[in-house]
């Protein structure tokens, strides 16, 4: 079953008005992209398309393989929320496929009506810019597709074509540009980062009466924590949770102002910016001389970090482990070794449910052994008395996106974000939980609004928030 | 031997050439295109594991079964009967006919009916469901009708218009040994063969490529062993890296030169020394 609730009826162009603002020139130059639509954009776009087809097996295979069985249709939270047929993954991919057929297949050239092959025109480009920026690359469709077609990859390819001819959104380009200037997505300057860490130290001093450090740029620390910058600024309970956990385990850790962000918004634009953003992490680790790099509670950070870091960087063999490690795995390992004294009654005031962030659940080592589907759950089970699971078709590898992934967390897309979060809100309402734990900064930013919009009385927070409340120092 | 005979043989050869050549070319393209990144969706971590899960996937359609039992019922029956019918037709390609091919002699007929019924079911599915109707292209309906045509003409020959099979076999063996021997054909056999030729010609240019494509789908065939081995991108290129800084010296290390010399907003380059800043100077 796709969806334990009612699937909406089709309504043409229901989501057409949800469009992102176009990118600003300053940001586009800062991230090495054309500032406006290049003059010969049609030829340019087809050339880039041909290059991607030559470079990417996934795109090449996914373009041919779809039989339009419709199994993915009701899998997408944006379709479930908006009812716009172009938000069905198969229809979204069709926007790119119809151009592919026209320029790259014989059948499409001969029978363009029966095969639905169309030329790349301005209308088609408009459609691309609208609907490929209504996809959160969450890959839920890939779980349902019998051929493993990942519409997220198709979206990435379409966005790369658009970015390189000068079409991108303000939110995504702004964020990537900020990373190159300040080291993080929120644009927090290094001194402000240091200041905010000191503020949190004072906060912890008040709470625990102990000097619990949040070190910044500490050379020779054991662990470099690459957390989402929002944890330092917005979801401070999660950041304090990390600090308390490291303190209790007696581990010498640090953050880096060169790379105080795990999330990789370059992934939503093109390969160049994705790699450029990613290699900052390993560079920071090497310059600071840390033993291990640990990824914080962030969905995109994990999606761009776990599978790709070893590809984008020469090697991670200087580090232990020589591959990206998630903080939930780290804490779980220590917890199993008995490093913490935990008191579950600290979380008795909440009824907890766990929302798998889409990019964590489907980007990870999550099959035969314990993976990112189990570690956070084990942490919650060991720190809370009241833990309930949502409907089985809405969790684990079939989890929904919060509705704002992949650069959709822009204010102008608010109706789309609320619609995309609806399935998650309904699933949460059905189990009556009042605390939704999730290890993802984007989920923590969007889901509170979603819960409020759909009138679900649930608070949203991190896994380490709960851990901190149950930990006895 | 007459003109239609010659034409029919030539059509057969063109079909074989386009089908085999086109399919080989597509598979070659799929195989040689590099995969830059790791994108497995919850696959097993070892090669035997992946082979096993793919085997289950392509024989039992596990994903469809788990998510959409009704579609599974239609599509699995459809594909299995297609396979059985193809196996039954192998008796036209071997001389002498091996025993195992004769095993499919009776079951192949039932499979013919199953193709008819499941094709109609799949066609109805596209028409009845609003979502499926939206995503279906003309060619999707056409292909199902085409298959219904092939199955119906085949079954018709089996019951109503028995044809002289030895001639048909001679024609097919002739195709593969490059000799011209075509029988005098009943119209229904001509229709049957032409439809089959058309299907095979269309195969390497269409969505029917899902058959070889599924074996190259990176989300399903990549091992989930990111921790164990480094994935190398064969066409990787270097991208610039900003110089490293700490919060104490980042003002000195930052590259403030913007490409194209665009002016930054005021206050952007203001230098603040951390220790003075803390003292409130």
A153 and A41 housed in the same domain: yes
Is pLDDT above 90 for B123?
yes
Residue B147 lies in a domain: yes
Cβ contacts of B228-231, under 8 Å, gap ≥ 24: B228/B45, B230/A310, B230/A311, B230/A315, B231/A307, B231/A310, B231/A311, B231/B37, B231/B38
Q: Answer yes or no: is A19 within a domain.
A: no
* Cβ contact, residue pair A111, B259, below 8 Å: no
Identify from B48, B140, B218 which residue to disrupt to test chain A contact, counting A C-beta atoms within 10 A and taking the largest count: B218
Among B222, B221, B277, which residue's Cα sits nearest to residue B248?
B277
Give yes or no: residues A164 and A190 share one domain.
Answer: no
Residue B251 has pLDDT above 90, yes or no: no
* Cβ pair A402, A447 in contact under 8 A: yes
State the DSSP code for A326.
Answer: E
How would you write the pLDDT of chain A (473 residues) with one tens digit per residue?
455 677 888 888 888 888 889 998 888 888 888 888 889 999 999 999 999 999 999 999 999 999 998 888 888 999 998 889 999 999 999 999 999 999 998 888 888 888 888 999 999 999 999 999 999 998 899 989 999 899 999 999 999 999 999 899 999 999 998 888 888 888 888 888 888 999 999 999 998 888 999 999 888 889 999 999 888 888 888 999 999 999 999 999 999 988 888 889 999 998 888 998 998 999 999 999 899 999 998 888 888 888 888 888 887 888 888 888 889 989 998 998 988 888 888 888 899 999 999 888 887 665 445 688 888 998 999 999 889 999 888 888 889 999 898 889 988 899 999 999 988 998 888 888 889 999 999 999 999 999 999 999 999 999 999 999 898 88
Q: Are residues A201 and A312 in the same domain?
A: yes
Return the closest-CA partner of residue A448 out of A360, A326, A355, A351.
A355
CB contact under 8 A, B210 and A147: yes
Give pLDDT, residue B171. Answer: 82
- Please indicate, yes or no, if residue A81 is contained in any of the structural domains: yes
Confidence check: pLDDT of B259 > 80: no
Same domain, A305 and A363: no
Question: Closest partner residue to B219 among A85, A90, A150, by Cβ?
Answer: A150
**ipTM of this predicted complex?**
0.87
Report pLDDT for B265: 46
Asked whether residue A448 is assigned to any structural domain, the reply reads yes
Tell me, yes or no, whether A219 lies in a domain.
Answer: yes
pLDDT at B15 (0 to 100)? 92
Question: Chain A contacts of B250, Cβ < 8 Å?
Answer: 190, 257-258
Q: How far apart are CA A94 and CA B179, in angstroms?
A: 45
Residue B265 belongs to a domain = no
Average pLDDT over residues B217-223: 90
Chain A residues touching residue B43 (CB < 8 angstroms): 367
Picking from A13, A57, A394 by the largest number of B CB atoms within 10 A of its own CB, the best residue to mutate is A57
Let me know if residue A88 belongs to a domain.
yes
CB-CB neighbors (< 8 A) of A61 in chain B: 30, 213, 216-218
Of the candidates B44, B131, B216, the beta carbon closest to that of A73 is on B131
Domain presence at residue B280: no
Answer yes or no: do A298 and A429 share one domain: no
Interchain contact, B247 vs A194, CB within 8 Å: yes
Instruction: Give the number of A-B residue pairs with CB atoms closer than 8 Å.
Output: 233
Contact: A216, B247; criterion CB under 8 Å = yes
Please tell me if residue A111 touches chain B, with a CB cutoff of 8 Å. yes
Picking from A158, A228, A180, the residue whose alpha carbon sits closest to that of residue A439 is: A228
Q: Of A314, A332, A350, at which residue does a domain stop?
A: A332
In a domain, B135, yes or no: yes
CA gap B31, B228 in Å, rounded? 24
Q: How many domains does chain B have?
A: 1
Which chain B residue has its CA at the smallest distance from A1's CA?
B67
Q: Are residues A326 and A385 in the same domain?
A: no
Indicate which CATH number applies to the domain containing A91. Answer: 1.10.1060
pLDDT score recorded for residue A24 = 87
B129 touching A, CB under 8 A?
Answer: yes
In a domain, B244, yes or no: no
Which positions in chain A touch B242 (Cβ < 8 Å)? Answer: 180, 258, 280
From A299, A332, A365, the end of a domain falls on A332
Assigned token pair, A6: 């009612």
Q: Is A104 on the interface with B (CB under 8 A)?
A: no
Is the residue at A15 inside a domain? no
Cross-chain residue pair B135–A71, CB shorter than 8 Å: no
B157 by DSSP, 3-state: which?
helix
When comparing pLDDT for B239 and A254, which is higher? A254
Q: Does B171 touch chain A (CB under 8 A)?
A: no
pLDDT at residue B103, rounded to an integer: 85
Q: Which of B179, B161, B208 is nearest to B12 (CA)?
A: B179
The CATH number of the domain where B49 resides is what? 1.20.950.20
Answer whether residue B88 shows pLDDT above 80: yes
Verify whether the Cβ–Cβ distance B217 to A367 is below 8 Å. no
Mark yes or no for CB contact A116/B235 under 8 Å. Answer: no
Predicted confidence at residue B272, as pLDDT, reads 46
Q: Does A452 touch chain B (CB under 8 A)?
A: no
pLDDT of amino acid B169? 83
Task: Looking at the complex, report in whole angstroms how far the Cα of residue A238 sits from the nearest Cα belonging to chain B.
Answer: 22
Judge: B41–A143 Cβ closer than 8 Å, yes or no. Answer: yes
Over 50: is that where the pLDDT of B268 sits?
Answer: no
Residue B266 near chain A (CB below 8 Å): no
* Radius of gyration, alpha carbons of chain B: 30
* Structure-model confidence comparison of residues B147 and A74, the more confident one: B147
* Chain B stretch 6-45, residues whose beta carbon is closer than 8 A to a beta carbon of chain A: 26, 29-30, 33-45
Most confident of A281-285, B234-238, B253-257: A281-285
A401 DSSP assignment = P
The residue range of the domain holding B28 is 3-221
Residue by residue, DSSP assigns A416-428 as: HHHHHHHHHHHHH
Q: Which residues on chain B are in Cβ contact (under 8 Å) with A397? A: 41-42
For residue A241, give the DSSP letter: H
Identify the domain containing residue A415 by its residue range.
Answer: 341-470
CA within 13 Å, CB half, A35: 9
Judgement on whether residues A328 and A362 belong to the same structural domain of the protein: no
Q: How many domains does chain A divide into?
A: 3
Distance CA(A357)–CA(A138), nearest Å, equals 9
Residues A466 and A442 in one domain: yes
Q: Are B205 and A105 in contact (CB under 8 A)?
A: yes
Contact A114 B139 (CB under 8 A): yes
Taking the CA of residue A454 and the nearest CA in chain B, the distance in Å comes to 25
CA B84, B87, B91, B96 torsion: positive or negative? negative
Looking at the fold, whether A228 and A351 belong to one and the same domain comes out as no
Partners of B206 on chain A (C-beta within 8 Å) are 107
**Nearest CA of chain A to the CA of B42: how many Å?**
6
CB A166 within 8 A of CB A41: yes
C-alpha–C-alpha distance, residues B102 and B117, integer Å? 24
In a domain, B84, yes or no: yes
Question: Domain for residue B139, yes or no?
Answer: yes
Q: A76-90, B162-176, B217-231 — which one is most confidently predicted on average?
A: A76-90
Average pLDDT over residues B222-233: 85
Quick one: closest CA in A to B265, which residue? A26
- Considering the domain boundaries, does residue B228 fall inside one? no
Same domain, A284 and A348: no
Tell whether A266 and A228 lie within a shared domain.
Answer: yes
The H helix count followed by the E strand count for chain B is: 14, 0
Q: Among residues A307, A332, A357, which one ends one of the domains?
A: A332
Q: Same domain for A75 and A97?
A: yes
| pLDDT(B267) > 50 | no
Smallest Cβ–Cβ distance between A257 and the set B134, B233, B247 belongs to: B247
CB distance A85 to A150 below 8 Å: no
């Amino acid at each position: 079953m796709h969806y334990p609730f009612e699937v909406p009826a089709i309504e043409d162009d229901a989501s057409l008005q949800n469009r992102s603002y176009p990118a600003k020139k300053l940001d586009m130059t800062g991230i090495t992209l054309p500032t406006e639509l290049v003059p010969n954009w049609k030829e340019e776009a087809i050339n880039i398309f041909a290059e991607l087809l030559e470079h990417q097996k996934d795109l090449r295979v996914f373009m041919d393989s779809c039989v339009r069985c419709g199994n993915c249709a009701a899998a997408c939270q944006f379709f479930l929320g908006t009812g716009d047929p172009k938000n069905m993954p198969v229809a979204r991919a069709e926007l790119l496929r119809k151009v592919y057929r026209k320029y790259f297949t014989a059948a499409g050239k001969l029978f363009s009506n029966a095969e639905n092959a169309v030329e790349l025109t301005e209308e088609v480009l408009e459609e691309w810019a609208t609907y490929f920026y209504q996809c959160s690359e969450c890959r839920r469709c890939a779980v349902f597709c019998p051929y493993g077609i990942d519409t997220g990859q198709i979206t990435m390819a379409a966005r790369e074509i658009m970015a390189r001819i000068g079409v991108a959104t303000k939110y995504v380009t702004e964020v990537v540009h900020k990373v190159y200037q300040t080291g993080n997505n929120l644009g927090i300057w290094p001194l402000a980062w240091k200041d905010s860490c000191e503020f949190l130290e004072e906060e912890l001093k008040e709470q625990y009466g102990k000097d619990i450090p949040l070190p910044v740029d500490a050379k020779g620390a054991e662990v470099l924590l690459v957390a989402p910058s929002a944890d330092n600024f917005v979801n401070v309970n999660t950041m304090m949770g990390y600090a308390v956990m490291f303190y209790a385990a007696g581990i010498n850790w640090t953050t880096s102002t060169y790379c105080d962000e795990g999330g990789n918004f370059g992934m939503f634009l093109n390969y160049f910016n994705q790699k450029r953003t990613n290699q900052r992490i390993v560079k920071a680790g090497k310059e600071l001389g840390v033993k291990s790099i640990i990824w914080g509670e962030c969905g995109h950070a994990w999606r761009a970090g776990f599978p790709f870091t070893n590809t984008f960087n020469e090697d991670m063999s200087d580090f232990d482990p020589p591959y990206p490690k998630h903080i939930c795995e780290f804490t779980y390992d220590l917890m199993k070794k008995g490093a913490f004294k935990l008191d579950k009654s600290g979380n008795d005031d909440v009824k907890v449910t766990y929302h798998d962030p889409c990019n964590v659940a489907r980007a990870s080592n999550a099959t035969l052994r314990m993976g990112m589907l189990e570690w956070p759950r084990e942490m919650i089970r060991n720190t809370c008395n009241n833990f309930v699971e949502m409907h089985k078709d809405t969790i684990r590898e079939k989890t929904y996106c919060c509705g704002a992934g992949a650069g959709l967390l822009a204010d102008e897309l608010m109706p789309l974000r609320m619609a995309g979060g609806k399935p998650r809100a309904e699933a949460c309402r059905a189990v009556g939980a009042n605390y939704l734990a999730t290890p993802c900064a984007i989920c923590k930013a969007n889901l509170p609004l979603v819960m409020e919009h759909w009138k679900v009385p649930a608070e949203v927070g991190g896994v380490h928030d709960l851990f901190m409340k149950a930990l006895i120092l | 031997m007459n003109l239609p005979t010659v034409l029919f043989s030539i059509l057969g050869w063109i079909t074989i050439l386009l089908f085999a050549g086109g399919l080989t070319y597509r598979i070659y393209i799929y195989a040689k295109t590099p995969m830059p990144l790791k994108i497995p969706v919850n696959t097993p971590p070892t090669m035997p594991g992946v082979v096993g899960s793919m085997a289950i996937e392509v024989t039992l359609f596990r994903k469809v079964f788990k998510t959409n039992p009704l579609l599974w019922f239609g599509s699995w029956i459809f594909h299995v009967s297609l396979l059985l019918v193809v196996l039954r037709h192998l008796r036209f390609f071997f001389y002498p006919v091996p025993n195992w091919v004769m095993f499919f002699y009776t079951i192949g007929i039932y499979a013919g009916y199953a193709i008819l019924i499941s094709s109609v079911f799949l066609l109805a599915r596209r028409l009845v469901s609003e979502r499926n109707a939206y995503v279906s292209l003309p060619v999707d309906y056409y292909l199902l009708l085409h298959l219904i045509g092939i199955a119906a003409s085949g079954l018709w020959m089996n019951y109503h218009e028995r044809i002289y099979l030895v001639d048909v076999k001679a024609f097919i063996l002739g195709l593969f040994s490059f000799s011209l021997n075509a029988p005098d054909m009943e119209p229904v056999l001509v229709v049957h063969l032409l439809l089959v030729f058309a299907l095979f010609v269309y195969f390497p240019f269409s969505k029917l490529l899902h058959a070889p494509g599924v074996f190259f789908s990176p989300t399903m065939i990549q091992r989930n062993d990111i921790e164990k081995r480094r994935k190398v991108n064969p066409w990787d290129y270097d991208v610039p890296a900003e110089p490293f800084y700490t919060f104490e010296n980042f003002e000195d290390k930052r590259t403030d030169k913007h490409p194209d010399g665009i002016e930054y907003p005021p206050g952007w380059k203001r230098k603040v020394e951390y220790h003075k800043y803390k003292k409130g100077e």
